[in-house]
Amino acid sequence: MRKPHSSKDDTCRWQLAFTILTKDASEPLAPIHERNPILLSPSSMAEWLDPENWDDSEEKIEAMLKELTEESVQVAKEVEFWPVGIEVGNVRNQIVDLNKRCY
């Protein structure tokens, strides 16, 4: 993201950052974990990442978060699940096929 109020000549104007916004889990994710990330549609991702949409208005931020949280419930219904092997639970496993369906 671009640092607010930085000039185009500023070589350090870009700041790498990330945030994972979570909420109480909704179906069908609730059986897996009590929390889940707020899942965004492609259009909402663009809106969220556009710095022109942000200002210092706490009300605007709260309204956008409420809208995204509500949308997340619908996006979660489109998530596809399948069983995988227990190896996926170990971060040391760097196998390409860890996400293959396990029947």
Ranges of each domain in the chain: 22-99
Tokens describing residue 6:
């930085």
50 is written with which tokens? 């556009």
| Cβ proximity of 40 and 48 under 8 Å | yes
Divide the 103 residues of the chain into consecutive groups of 10 and give the mean pLDDT of each group.
72 78 88 91 88 79 89 89 89 89 80
What is this structure's pTM? 0.61
Query: What's the confidence (pLDDT) of residue 79?
Result: 86
Q: Which residues are registered as beta bridge partners of 14?
A: 2
Query: Of 67, 79, 82, 64, whose CA–CA distance to 26 is shortest?
Result: 79
Q: How far apart, in Å, are the Cα atoms of 94 and each of 81, 82, 90?
A: 21, 19, 9
